[in-house]
Amino acid sequence: MMRIGVLISGGGTNLQALIDGIESGYIPGEIAVVISNRSTAYGLERARMHGIPAKCILKKDYNNDQAFNAAILETLKEHNVELVVLAGYLSILSPDVVKAYPNRIINIHPSLIPAFCGKGYYGQKVHRAVLEYGVKVTGATVHFVDEGTDTGPIILQQPVMVKDDDDINSLAQRVLEVEHQLLCRAVKLFIEGRITVRGRKVSINE
Ligand code: GRF
């Protein structure tokens, strides 16, 4: 059973979607550990309620970013993690961590990359920018993590139409539902060995 490590920073609804996907048998994997960089992340509680090892690793407990990321990598290795999933994780992984898991770190982003992504575009800020720009279509993207921010090869995308009367919350809610489905599908496809990456091009064996 493939061992998944999930990194979170907040409410953990994407983590919950993974937990539900595993418990329903849809995702043939297991979550070996949940790591949060925020002690208040409700996602830690979600993990504990499902008997999943949950660990808080706080940047303030380390001298520098490199040591902080080394602690994350050590925890992933301790739990024999084979696939890392960033589920609402609001920190940038160091090159060392990315190098340890080449095309084995998956991130979910709440827009159609390369729009509304990169430094500073996370959570509600993404949807605010979408509404301010006035685009008619947004969506969600699942991609492999490389050493950039939201720049790795794209695995899956799904559009979400922007409604005239949308506000940040109504739009965020509709995109979040798509994120949950897309993330579970990408993790399932990965574990089943149905994803091939050639350079930036990702092929899915549906
Ligand atoms: C949400 O903004 C989601 O779009 C992004 O991370 C944030 C928190 O997600 N992926 P979660 O509820 O903590 O999974």
pLDDT, tens only, 41-56 = 999 999 999 999 999 9
Q: Which residues pair with 108 in a beta bridge?
A: 142
In three-state secondary structure terms, 162 is coil
Give the nearest ligand 1 atom to 8 CA: 13
CA of 91 to the centre of ligand 1 (A): 13
What pLDDT, on a 0 to 100 scale, did the predictor assign at position 173? Answer: 98
What pLDDT, on a 0 to 100 scale, did the predictor assign at position 134? Answer: 98
Nearest of 73, 18, 27 to residue 47 by alpha carbon: 18
Q: Which CATH class is domain 1-101?
A: alpha beta
What pLDDT, on a 0 to 100 scale, did the predictor assign at position 28? Answer: 98
- 79 is a catalytic site residue: no
Task: Give 101-133 pLDDT, tens digit per residue.
Answer: 999 999 999 999 999 999 999 999 999 999 999
What pLDDT, on a 0 to 100 scale, did the predictor assign at position 161? Answer: 98
Structure tokens that stand for 5 in this block: 């490590």
Tell me the DSSP string of 81-97: -SEEEESS--SPPPHHH
Task: Give 59-83 pLDDT, tens digit per residue.
Answer: 999 999 999 999 999 999 999 999 9
Task: Give 152-190 pLDDT, tens digit per residue.
Answer: 999 999 999 999 999 999 999 999 999 999 999 999 999
Q: What is the mean pLDDT of residues 196-202?
A: 97
Task: Say if residue 10's pLDDT is above 90.
Answer: yes
What pLDDT, on a 0 to 100 scale, did the predictor assign at position 206? Answer: 86
User: Is 11 touching ligand 1 by the criterion CB < 6 Å?
Assistant: yes
CA distance 20 to 22: 5
Residue nearest to ligand 1 atom 6, measured at CA: 88
User: Is 17 touching ligand 1 by the criterion CB < 6 Å?
Assistant: no
What pLDDT, on a 0 to 100 scale, did the predictor assign at position 90? Answer: 94
CA 63 to chain centre: 26
What pLDDT, on a 0 to 100 scale, did the predictor assign at position 32? Answer: 98
**Please, how many CA atoms are within 13 Å of residue 90, restricted to the half-sphere of its CB?**
14
- CATH code of domain 107-206: 3.40.50.170
Domain ranges of the chain: 1-101, 107-206
CA of 123 to the centre of ligand 1 (A): 6
Q: What is the mean pLDDT of residues 13-36?
A: 98
Nearest of 8, 34, 30, 10 to residue 21 by alpha carbon: 30
CA of 200 to the centre of ligand 1 (A): 25
Shared fold status for 1-101 and 107-206: yes
Q: Phi and psi for 171 in degrees, rounded to 5?
A: -70, -45
Q: Which residues pair with 83 in a beta bridge?
A: 4
User: Is 179 touching ligand 1 by the criterion CB < 6 Å?
Assistant: yes
User: Is 166 touching ligand 1 by the criterion CB < 6 Å?
Assistant: no
